[in-house]
Structures are given as structure tokens and as C-alpha cells.
Amino acid sequence: MNRSPRTLAGALVLTLGLLLSGCALNTEPTFRAGTAVAGGGTSKAAVGARTTYDVTPLLHPDKKYFGAALSDIPKSLAKTRTYQSTVGKAPNLLAFYASWGDAYDVSGVRRIFGYGALPYMAWEPYHTTLEAIADGRTDDYVRSVAQSVLSADVPVAISFGHEMNGDWYPWGRQAATADQFVRAWKHVHDIFQQVGATNVIWVWSPNNIYPAPKVKLKPYYPGDAYVDWVGVIGYYTVDGPRTFSVLFDPTFRQVRTFSKRPFLISETASEMSGRRLADVDDLFSGVQARPDVLGFIWFDIVKRADWRIERTPGPLADFKRRASNPVYGFDVRNP
């Protein structure tokens, strides 16, 4: 397009002004550390041409999360598509497990988000100690993961050191103190903030208190400024609680004495038995009855028992019927 001499002169003056002010025509995005916003959400953490993904709309959605943990995630979604076909609905929350030292699978989490689900990483601090993490001895690794999370540019829920109130993991109460856990959590969170990786939903995920009712949860809690969701873990087992209220409500009540953060049932399933049909129905009813429970993740993996819902036709039919309720599931790309 032709330009007049006056237009060209104006453009030269504008360009010179930009150069002199240090704002030359640089199209590379410039990032800065993000900050927490009121209510525990996270703000967009970048200036310039690009911002980090804003997770705020995902924190308190109008519908429930319909989640699954499957053995091939995040490297492949083949089993996820099979699971979707089996239960009649696409999961919108897909959980996977990462050990301390594992690289963050950028391609994998992008694949999950492209499918229409929120990636959920249970980050397990194997091969280290909470004291080492809190003291900064693993900072290079934490920073590299935070940078990868930022570069992925999709939201992710991260649960660090889940079931810390139990005694069956090397970061549990028998191996570390509550203070060490809190210090490690805050240190990891702070590094993510420094890097600008605010596209994270932080999930504090204790086991339900039924196995250890005398272990108080409050000393393990990092505080609302460091937590977005409380992800309670609980399984329906043959010799365990038979109802949602017995399995989860005592934990909910205890957490409500120190936090108002919403709950997620971050791991659950029913052991194969004659109770399974009732357990499935009870789980859906319990989640649906509580507005402060955002949804659940069904652990559809063989680990010490076969938790796969597809192995039992009767309970599967009920699972499929209950999952068809429009309250469960939504596309996280358009919450």
C-alpha cells in the first residue's frame, strides 16, 4: 500500500521514539514471576505478546470433574479412548504419576489438554527426602520442571507428596515430620512462582483419615495461599467403609476447621466384590450431593487389586448410567 510522505515521517519518528525508550520492535514474549490473587487463584503471569494460561475458570467450574487414572497416560491416550467408549463419556481430568527426577512430559500434557481434559500430575518425591527438597538441594530439578510447565502453556493440576499423613510412602509420617512436608511444599511452590509457572492448580492431597484417625491434618497444611484444591484420597474396600459419608465426611469436617478450599476426590475406586454396584452408586451420589466437591478421579489401574470398572458388567452399567448425568464432565478448554 502506498504511503504519503507525512505518514512515512510519522512512522520514522515513532520508531525512533521506541528505540530511545528501550521498547524497540521486539516480538519475543517477556515473562515475569506471577503472583497469587485473592481467593487462592493465580493471575496471568506474563507481559508482552504472550501470557501464561489462566487457570482461574477451572478452579470453581459449574459442572463436576469426571476424572480417570489410566496406565498409559500421558505417553498415549489409546486406553483413554477405550475407557471413554466403555463408560460412555470422555474424562475431563486425566491423572498420571511422576517420580522425583522425571522430566515433565510437555508433549504428553499438551496431548491431554488437546483431548479436552485437565492434566493432573501426582508428583511423588521418591529418591530424595522432604528435608533435601525444603533445603534447596533439588532446586535445579524443580526449576527445570517449572520451566517445562511454563513452556507447555496449558493448565495442569499438581499434587505433591500425596497421602503424606499415611505411613506407606517414603515421604509419609514415619519418614518425615509435618513441618518438613510444609517447608518442602512451600519451597517447590515458590520456585514455580519465581519461574512464572502460574498455570498450575495446586492440589494438597491427604489420604482420608479412616486408617489413621489420630493423625491430625492441619500440621501438614501449607496454607490457603499455597493450595487451590484439597484432593482427598479414599477407596471402597471389602473390609473398609461402606458409604461415602463414612469414607470421606470425617476428613471433610476436619479440613473445614482450617480451610475453605474446594474438595476433589483425587483417587478412588471400588474393590471387586458383591458391594461394587452399591459403591459406584454411592460415590456418584456423594459427589453430586456436595457443591464443594468438584468431582472425582477413578483409579482404573491394576495395583494390589483390580480396580478397573470394565471388569464388572453390572457395576459398569451403573457407572455408565450415572456418568451420563450432564453435571459430570465439561470441556476444560471452554469451561
Q: How many residues does the chain have?
A: 335
Helix axes 313-323, 276-289, angle to 10 degrees: 20
Look up residue 287 and give its three cell numbers: 459427589
Are the CB atoms for 73 and 47 separated by under 8 Å? no
Map residue 305 onto helix, strand or coil.
Answer: coil
Using pLDDT thresholds of 50, 70 and 90, give the confidence band for residue 52.
confident
> Class of 33-323 per CATH?
alpha beta
pTM for this one? 0.85
At residue 51 the predicted structure's pLDDT band, cuts being 50, 70 and 90, is low
Segment 252-275, tens digit of pLDDT: 999 999 999 999 999 999 999 999
Grid coordinates belonging to 275: 458391594
Task: Answer whether residue 78 shows pLDDT above 80.
Answer: yes
For residue 295, list its beta bridge partners: 65
Give the H/E segment covering residue 144: helix 139-152
Between the ranges 36-40, 45-49, 72-76, where is the mean pLDDT highest?
Answer: 72-76
Label residue 105 by pLDDT band (50, 70, 90): very high
Task: Tell how strand 293-299 and strand 65-69 pair up.
Answer: parallel
Q: Which among 131, 75, 67 has a CA at the least distance from the CA of 95?
A: 67
Catalytic positions, written as ranges: 163, 267
pLDDT at 156 over 60: yes
Average pLDDT for 214-219: 98
| Model confidence pLDDT, tens digit, residues 3-18 | 333 333 343 333 333 3
Q: Return the C-alpha cell found at 35.
A: 503472583
**C-alpha–C-alpha distance, residues 106 and 180, integer Å:** 29
Query: Is pLDDT above 80 for 304?
Result: yes
Helix axes 106-115, 139-152, angle to 10 degrees: 40
Q: Please determine, for residue 38, whether its predicted confidence score (pLDDT) is greater than 60.
A: no
Q: What is the pLDDT of residues 308-321, one digit of tens each?
A: 999 999 999 999 99
Indicate the domain borders of the chain: 33-323
DSSP helix/strand/coil, 93: strand
